[in-house]
Amino acid sequence: MPKPVVLIAEELSPATIDALGPDFEIRHVDGTDRPALLSALAEANAVLVRSATKIDAEAIAAAPVLKVVARAGVGLDNVDIKTATTAGVMVVNAPTSNIISAAELTVGHILALARHIPAAHASLAGGAWKRSAYTGTELYEKTVGIIGLGRIGALIAARVQAFGTKVVAYDPYVTSARAQQLGVHLLTLDELLEQSDFITIHMPKTPETTGMIGIEQMQRMKRSAYLVNVARGGLIDEEALYKALTTGEIAGAGLDVFTSEPPVEGGSARMLLDLPNVIVTPHLGASTDEAQEKAGVSVANSVRLALGGDLVPDAVNVAGGIIDPYVRPGIPLVEKLGQIFAALAHSPLTSLDVEVHGELNAYDVSVLKLAALKGVFTNIVSETVSYVNAPLLAEQRGVEVRLLVDEDSPEYRNVITLRGALSDGSQLSVSGTLTGTKQVEKLVGINDYAIELPIEQHHIVMLYTDRPGIVAVYGQKFGEAGINIAGMQIARENAGGQALSVLTVDSPVDDELLDEVRTAISADLFRQIEITES
């Protein structure tokens, strides 16, 4: 059987090719050579591009067996997503590949503005020695305002806090609890503009956000304030910015993105390049070796998943829909919850409700139902389980599956619960969430017991009558066997009632020791859970 053909249309790192593995026929073409590209697409099952290759309607029409277009980067301006969707072609990108690079470049612009580094360098390189002309300002105890507290905004907050700054933010979709986790104070946009010494914008470009920083907003800023845009050209009104910079309305600006790239002669972007109080870079947000390699490896993995029939978390047009970036981190969490559920179930599953509570209520979370089914069946059927065959496995076993969504989540921003009925008439539920800036996957509930424990590879779950000395019993037995307990949570309904103990251990526990501990504590439920990584 011939191998699927993967077409590489632009230069990618060796690590990208390695990530594809040996299961594909790799072909190369110059994506900017249009006739050569169209010819090569005729037999391609997947094509990998950066930004120079246009995959438009003509290219898609020339690719009758194409299944995946993979953009090794973030932007998709060179891919016709609508036509691809109509043709049944999946489009994937690497949405998180450049976030650290973009955050670091933003901080670089802030520092360069504060200390006039580019101008001082040019002056000295030109033979002048003008120390007094380039007196700058410290970041210490200054206020940095971040417009858009998403992944990049959060990374910037952490970095500028190290300089002793006060960080404030405007983001209508971020809760005060989330901001508090980041050490950031939420303000209205007007309040942020009025209070900040440095302002950096990190919003998506939409009709609503285009030109959101205009002359009215700049007039609210301090005359000593600096404005930075490393996100999207057009978020700042360039004509208004030129006026503010030339009239002394604000002190300066750092720009990596423009409304036209490269800036065209006579355009609003081009006028900004000649100003002495502007620092510019040619859209370098993702231009690091690390970001480029991450992007290539990420889309290579996506291609492998897509051609293998699995769901691809970084796909932007799965089944004609979209997996929102806010939903994506929940996919591996729900898979793990499915594995935990299956390990705890003591009889066959007859029905399963996938309950999504909290802010995710506002998004399409249908993919989480697939993730739950994949997790449930991963370790209990002999065949390989994918997002494609998991619903079929449920149907074959007579398992009814529902997706239930609401906004009720009083303790966490989001909680996902798998609640199932078993064939013996009992019910079982497991709940999980993502916490903190690193989106740590946590188990937060089993049946009616509330816990909070990071999900790791090896867990032991015990249910027993609460009484003194039980923890010492199993702690001693595991310790004598060389099993290290890395984490533990205990929950109970009331003193002397049933207690649930969930342990994280560093290595698997053999069956003989498990039976010994079970007997020693007279456990009503005793399960070892091994999480299989997808």
Q: What is the pLDDT of residues 228-263, one digit of tens each?
A: 999 989 999 999 999 999 999 999 999 999 999 899
Is 527 tagged catalytic?
no
Residue 195's identity, in one-letter code, is: Q
Alpha-carbon gap, residue 198 to 143, rounded angstroms = 7
- Among candidate residues 232, 304, 419, 527, the one labeled active-site is 232
Domains in the chain with CATH codes: 5-95+290-308 (3.40.50.720), 98-280 (3.40.50.720), 323-453 (3.30.1330.90), 456-533 (3.30.70.260)
How confident is the model over 184-238, as pLDDT tens digits? Answer: 999 999 999 999 999 999 987 766 788 999 999 999 999 999 999 999 899 999 9
| Mean pLDDT of all residues in 284-302 | 92
Indicate whether 320 pLDDT > 60. no
Which residue has tokens 């049933």?
498
Other Cβ atoms less than 10 A from the Cβ of 317: the count is 21
How confident is the model over 344-354, as pLDDT tens digits? Answer: 998 888 899 99
Q: What's residue 2's pLDDT? A: 87
Is 383 tagged catalytic?
no
Is 261 tagged catalytic?
yes
Q: What's residue 208's pLDDT? A: 72
CA distances 55 to 62, 113, 410, 437, Å, are 10, 39, 45, 35
Other Cβ atoms less than 10 A from the Cβ of 213: the count is 23
**DSSP-H helix ranges across 162-313:** 176-181, 189-195, 215-220, 238-246, 268-272, 289-307
How confident is the model over 350-381, as pLDDT tens digits? Answer: 899 999 999 999 998 988 998 899 899 888 77
- The tokens for 480 are 């004598």
> CB of 225 within 8 A of CB of 250?
yes
> CB of 343 within 8 A of CB of 379?
yes
| Mean pLDDT of all residues in 35-58 | 95
Q: What's residue 382's pLDDT? A: 57
- Among candidate residues 216, 261, 407, 411, the one labeled active-site is 261
Contacts of 519 (CB under 8 A, 6+ apart): none
What are the φ/ψ torsions at residue 333 (nearest 5 degrees)?
A: -60, -45
Q: What is the 3-state secondary structure (H, E, C) of 135-161?
A: CCCCCCCCEEEEECCCHHHHHHHHHHH
- Among candidate residues 283, 304, 419, 527, the one labeled active-site is 283
CA distances 122 to 126, 128, 421, Å, are 6, 9, 71
| Mean pLDDT of all residues in 413-425 | 93
Residue 284's identity, in one-letter code, is: L
